[in-house]
Amino acid sequence: MIRTDVLIIGGGPAGLGAAIETTNRGLKTLLVEENPIYGGQLIKQTHKFFGSHSHFAGTRGIYIQDELLKEIKKEHFSMLPGHSAVGIYDDGVIGIYDSEKNRFKKVSAKKVIVATGASEKTIPFKNNDLPGIYGAGGVQTLMNVYGVLPGKKILMIGAGNIGLIVSYQLIQAGADVVGIVEALPKAGGYDVHLAKIRRMGVPVFFKHTIVEAFGQDSVEGALIVQIDNRWKHLNGTQMQLECDTICLAVGLTPSSEILMQTGIKMTFSPSLGGYVPVHNEFMQTSSTDYFVAGDAAGIGEATSAIIEGRLAGISASASLGKEKNAEKVYKEHVDYIEKLRDGNTGIKVKKGKYELWNKPWDTSMETFEKKDNTIKIPKGRTKAYVSIECYEDIPCNPCEISCHFKAITVGPNITDLPMLDLDKCTGCMSCLTQCPGLAIFGINKDLAPGRTGITIPYELLPLPEKGDTVWGADRDGKIICSARVEAVRKNKNKTHLITISVENEYAENVRHFYPGASGDVLICRCLDITADEINDALDRGYTDFEELKRYLRVTTGPCQGRGCRQLIMNMIRAKTGEDVSSHSTGTPRPPESALPFSAFTKGGKK
């Protein structure tokens, strides 16, 4: 048994940040990192970082870990590279696996800091498991760590920061990026990253989406299609792109399965990217023995990961009596992290964290570039109303005219923004069918417990049917949850009204839906289980996650459900309409990754 004061799991920026604080307070600290190299995501980031100068801005990611290592007090520190934490058992012992020697070892620690980072999301499209379709992280690892190009002609999916950065890195490494496909009309990533790519001649297919990958043994091409601002696949715009690699940069999700084994509280937060351990501002989880930091505590960026790591280190030290002035020390870091999260991209994280801490959130804190015709919806409002999402001063006022209850005012100056008088709005939804911009959505919080009805003006074929399970998409057209079709109201003017229901937490973001996933869309990669098979099981009545798991074995493959748990929970929610927060999401069990018996036997004597 290895004994230590503090065990840190994960040697990315968060883990290294934590080690700085604990070692400088004289605590014996052990850091395990599953890779042979430290730095987590940093080791792949060849670009310069943003942020404040005092926090490594302008430094390339690949050099930051060295800077961090310098600040760690070596006499109190030991590191085990190539060791992964594989289990936290009921007596608190942490099992670690030495992959080089094939040995299982045990660690007893007073405090554990989990900084295990994130794993990548995927999206459903036809043949999404064909060789040659890689996650952005996989592509980066292959090219920046091993120096092997993933392919010659790359199609990138997603123009967020990661998609843009990895495209740039691919070009730097000598590949040809045949295009970037982005559903939005504009890039989610920073303009500068985009400009960089653009001036190198990479076409960016805004308002496009990928429909299918094709190829015999591996990717030979992709079918993409243009979508209009109503998300309709535009006929005749289908385009085949020749490529040998499709790189998915569609987001990350926190990876803290190992903490789930301890039974600490978890919560689902769309703003933070998925399931995260409930934690306070100083990174302590619901147990005083476990702390969490970095992407594992909600997807953010490297600078805030370092600071969260430091906070976790200070908290852990304080709980061991090694920091008497914790409150004062916290403050500097907390203030900085708040500032970091004020930007357009950080604000989402800030919101997620505020929700976690039950801190009041004022929507005015969200710095969208929009004029202010937003209205505050009183908390208790259950009656249906509309959300008018028309922020540009265009000459237009059918909404005003269409409302028989005089709830919408544009006024004499018809470029003024429409204003809603909530008290007068009856929720009749007639304005939805009249707005030429399809910019008005119905909101009904009283539809079913825990679920919000969203009425969407819809002009696509085929129309869904009541009871269908569909994918709920956000304003960027990104699928964020499943939804259920609650009502289909056809209209003479062909703007039909479709009411879908989603869990309350998605209500603010879902503004579109895609037909339900089916056919060759892989949900559980490990066991080859498709959306169709899951839908069949749901139809047969296996709508409890645990029953579904035992019926189809989904989530029981070697990935322990990392890839599919969230998708499946969404499908259940959509099918049953129930709040599934009471369902167990399945307890991840040790070992974290499959280990051979020989690792446990030390020679194999009876």
Partner 1 sequence: MKAAADVGIIGGGIIGSAIGYYLTKMGLKDIVLFEKDYLTSGCTGRCGGGIRQQWSTSDNVKLAKRSVELFEKYEDELDFDFEYIQQGYLILAFTDDEVRDFKKNVAMQKKHGLKVDLISPRQAKKIVPFLNTNDVLAATYCPTDGLANPFLTTFGYAERASEAGMTILRKTRVNSIERKGGSYRIRTDKGDCTVKYIVNAAGPWAQEAAKMIGYDIPVEPERHQILVTEPLERMVGPMVVDFYNGFYGSQEKRGGFVMGESDPSEPASYKTSSHWKFVESISKKFTYLFPRFSNVKILRQWAGSYCVSPDAQPILGPISADDPNYFLAVGYSGHGFMLAPATGEAIAEWIVKGKPLTTDISHLTMERIEKGDFSQEHNVV
Partner 2 sequence: MRIAKHPILDFKKQKRIPFYYNGEKIFGMTGDTIASALHDNGIMVYRVTDKSRKRGFFCAIGKCSSCMMKVDGIPNIKTCVTELKTGMHIECQKGKGSYK
Q: Which residues bind ligand FAD (CB under 6 A)?
A: 9-15, 32-35, 40-42, 45, 47, 49-50, 84-85, 115-118, 136-137, 140, 162, 165-166, 258, 294-296, 300-303, 305, 592
Sign for the CA dihedral angle at 130, 213, 122, 452 comes to: negative
Q: Where are the alpha helices (DSSP H) in 512-561?
A: 531-539, 545-552
Residue 284 DSSP code = B
Asked if 43 interacts with ligand SF4 (CB under 6 A), we say no
In terms of CB distance, is 278 or 422 closer to ligand SF4?
422
Asked if 4 interacts with partner 1 (CB under 8 A), we say no
In terms of CB distance, is 45 or 499 closer to partner 2?
45
- Match 């790519």 to its residue by tokens: 197
Given a contact cutoff of 8 angstroms between Cβ atoms, the answer to whether 104 and 49 are in contact is no
Task: Return left, alpha or beta for 166; rule: phi > 0 is left, psi -120 to 50 is alpha, else beta.
Answer: alpha
Q: What is the nearest approach in angstroms of partner 2 to the Cβ of residue 461?
A: 31
303 binds, among ligand FAD, partner 1, partner 2, none (CB under 5 to 8 A by kind): ligand FAD
Reported for 551-558, long-range contacts at CB under 8 A and 24+ positions apart, including other chains, are 552/524, 552/527, 553/527, 553/529, 554/523, 554/524, 554/527, 554/529, 555/524, 555/586, 556/527, 557/524, 557/525, 557/526, 557/527, 558/526, 558/593, 558/594
Q: Which residues pair with 496 in a beta bridge?
A: 458
Quote the CA–CA distance of 459 and 452 in Å, as a whole number. 22
Quote the CA–CA distance of 433 and 478 in Å, as a whole number. 24
Give the CA count within 13 Å in the CB-facing half-sphere of 41.
Answer: 25
Q: Which two tokens stand for residue 355?
A: 């929700």
- What would you report as the CA-atom Rg of the chain, rounded to the nearest whole angstrom? 25
- In this chain, which stretch among 228-236, 278-286, 381-389, 519-527 interacts with partner 2, using CB under 8 A? 519-527
Q: List, in order, residues 6 or more apart from 588 with CB less than 8 Å away.
A: 257, 258, 260, 261, 560, 561
In terms of CB distance, is 242 or 392 closer to partner 2?
242
Site for partner 2 in 540-569 (CB under 8 A): 557-559, 562-563
Omega before 515 within 30 of 0, i.e. cis: no
Quote the CA–CA distance of 122 and 133 in Å, as a whole number. 10
Asked if 475 interacts with partner 1 (CB under 8 A), we say no
Asked if 560 interacts with partner 1 (CB under 8 A), we say yes
> x/- site string to partner 2, residues 237 to 256, per CB under 8 A?
------------------x-
Size of residue set near partner 1 by CB under 8 A: 37
In terms of CB distance, is 289 or 416 closer to partner 1?
289
Quote the CA–CA distance of 440 and 397 in Å, as a whole number. 12
582 binds, among partner 2, ligand FAD, partner 1, none (CB under 5 to 8 A by kind): partner 1
143 binds, among ligand FAD, partner 2, partner 1, none (CB under 5 to 8 A by kind): partner 2
Asked if 542 interacts with partner 1 (CB under 8 A), we say yes
Q: What is the nearest approach in angstroms of ligand FAD to the Cβ of residue 397?
A: 44
Asked if 465 interacts with partner 1 (CB under 8 A), we say no
Site for ligand SF4 in 388-447 (CB under 6 A): 388, 390, 396-399, 402-403, 405, 407-408, 410, 418, 425-431, 435-437, 439-440
Asked if 449 interacts with partner 1 (CB under 8 A), we say no
In terms of CB distance, is 172 or 240 closer to partner 2?
172
- Torsion (CA) 273, 275, 276, 278 in degrees, nearest 10: 130
Quote the CA–CA distance of 118 and 97 in Å, as a whole number. 20
91 binds, among ligand SF4, partner 1, ligand FAD, none (CB under 5 to 8 A by kind): partner 1
Q: What is the nearest approach in angstroms of ligand SF4 to the Cβ of residue 384?
A: 7
Q: List residues binding partner 1 (CB under 8 A).
A: 87, 89-91, 93, 95, 104, 106, 261, 540-542, 544, 546-547, 550-551, 553, 556, 558, 560, 582-583, 589-591, 594-601, 604-606
Q: List residues binding ligand SF4 (CB under 6 A).
A: 386, 388, 390, 396-399, 402-403, 405, 407-408, 410, 418, 425-431, 435-437, 439-440
Q: List residues binding partner 2 (CB under 8 A).
A: 34-35, 46, 60, 62, 99, 119-120, 122, 129-135, 137-139, 141-144, 146-152, 172-174, 217-218, 255, 522, 525-526, 528, 557-559, 562-563, 593-594
